[in-house]
Structure 1
Amino acid sequence: MCEPFIRNYQYNVIKSQANAALQGFRTISDPKVLESVRFSAQSRVLELFPNATASMKSMLEPVSELKSVTDLQQYLQELEPYLIEFPRITEGQLRKLFKKNKKLKLPDLSQIDFRYVSYLSWTDIATNKMFIVYDADGQFVGIEGRFTETNKKNYCFVCNKFEKLALFSAISKKRPESSPDNYKSVGNYICMNGHECNKNITDVASLEKFISSVLS
């Protein structure tokens, strides 16, 4: 049995490609076109794991053979044991990440399924603050900032899906050279609902770039 090797965002890509393959089977009558769609789905899934072993490939490749919703559900369920959990984090570790915030409101960690987490986020309505925690190469990093609800839907910079957004603004630790007494604000539009964002995210590059711009 393989060790877990699939991260949440990769699992979301697999789900997307599996749905595309199944939709193709249902709607495409031309065998050559269908074969192309199925090959594309399989290729995109395998590209996520360039160092995959033969055993890993044997689990992933059936994405091109799905013919029913039952097949799809079974395929995804068989992959679930191989999901890499977001590293377990304690309340103490969270408080240490945001030690300047003496009245830090924490999420209920016991209610989170860390298999489906690419990043941890929560909001504190009382202080109008949003908090983001990410595992950067085995080390937890945290950023906090103000959030302003937009009350409308648009594309989230993290998951690139059309969701209800908030403007998240954090203060960069790097001061502008022209005015060292001032601080640079870094902002972007992110999903109000971090759970939905984690269900949608298929690439962590934008999130990592944003966190780096705040912390560097």
Structure 2
Amino acid sequence: MNKIEVYKFVKVKQLVYQLIKLYRTNDMNSHKTQKDFLLNEINDIFKEKDIDISDFITSIDDVKLTKKKAEHLLNELKVYIQDFEIPSSSQLEKIFRKVKKLKRPDINLIDTKEISYLGWNDNSSNRKYIVYKNLDDKFEGIYGEISPNKVKGFCKICNQESDTSLFLNKTKHNKSSGTYTKKGDYICYDSFKCNQNLDDINNLYEFIVKIK
């Protein structure tokens, strides 16, 4: 079965919620072009993978569509989501080989159809760990300090407003002298919520490049 990536499904959900908002306007006749655009955008995401969602499109092409009904319909589409592969314990040890006593996430609490990357906090050391698949579909990871202080702001990974914290990654500034520098920015303190908002994986890649 062909499947779409998690972040693309996030985009689908965003488009569906835009559609519901459009349906709440008084004059739908003047918004028909926008409605058709949203429906085509949703369909095209699945069409790229040769997935037929014509029944879903018909169901959401309804001015009486409620959020509850939309969520039920979206849930039925989750069979078309490609699960994020969870790295094994040995793979995590290899990714973070410089970290002593690595605190691993509780994988039993993770819905692999809800995340585009794996991120978790170690509150005892104020660290955040991020594991992702690179463009060659290989695991890579990064870790750094995460401030316990949260502020309302825009996350540099998902580009949405949320409770953000300053994340700092320590990198070697000068190999000969052994000096280090810290690079970072504000990102979601809660990586699961970040994944819920991430609709473009390139945002994650750009953030990683910036702070490495």
| Alignment correspondent of 1:166 | 165
Q: 1:93-147 CA deviation, whole Å, 9 max, x = no partner?
A: 1111111112111111111111101111111111111110001132100101111
| Alignment correspondent of 1:121 | 119
| Aligned length in residues | 209
Structure 1 residues 39 and 32: CA distance shift in structure 2, 3 A: same
Helix, strand or coil for the counterpart of 1:27? coil
**Inter-partner Cα distance in structure 2 for 1:167 and 1:95:** 25
- Tell me, yes or no, if the aligned pair for 2:7 and 2:200 is still in contact at 8 Å: yes
Corresponding letter in the other structure for 1:155: F
**Inter-partner Cα distance in structure 1 for 2:35 and 2:200:** 22
* Deviation, structure 1 residue 20: 1.4
* Deviation, structure 1 residue 16: 1.1
| Alignment correspondent of 1:65 | 61
Structure 1 residues 190 and 63: CA distance shift in structure 2, 3 A: farther
**Inter-partner Cα distance in structure 2 for 1:209 and 1:88:** 22
The two structures, once aligned, show a CA RMSD in angstroms of 2.4
Structure 1 residues 150 and 44: CA distance shift in structure 2, 3 A: farther
Spell out the pairing of 1:1-216 with structure 2 (5 A cutoff).
Answer: 3-33=1-31, 35-48=32-45, 51-53=48-50, 55-56=51-52, 58=54, 61-62=57-58, 65-66=61-62, 67-69=64-66, 71-136=69-134, 137-172=136-171, 175=173, 181-215=178-212
- Tell me, yes or no, if the aligned pair for 2:150 and 2:189 is still in contact at 8 Å: no
Structure 1 residues 182 and 46: CA distance shift in structure 2, 3 A: farther
* Deviation, structure 1 residue 172: 3.3
Consecutive unaligned residues in structure 1, runs of 5 or more? none
Structure 1 residues 157 and 104: CA distance shift in structure 2, 3 A: same
- Flag as ranges the 4+ runs of structure 1 deviating above 4 A: none
**Identity rate of aligned residues, in percent?**
29
Consecutive unaligned residues in structure 2, runs of 5 or more? none
Q: 1:13-50 CA deviation, whole Å, 9 max, x = no partner?
A: 111111111221232324131x1221121233245457
- Tell me, yes or no, if the aligned pair for 1:168 and 1:189 is still in contact at 8 Å: yes
Q: 1:38-84 CA deviation, whole Å, 9 max, x = no partner?
A: 1121233245457342x435366447514322541343022110111
Report the TM-score, using the length of structure 2 for normalisation. 0.87
**Inter-partner Cα distance in structure 1 for 2:59 and 2:194:** 24
**Inter-partner Cα distance in structure 2 for 1:43 and 1:51:** 12
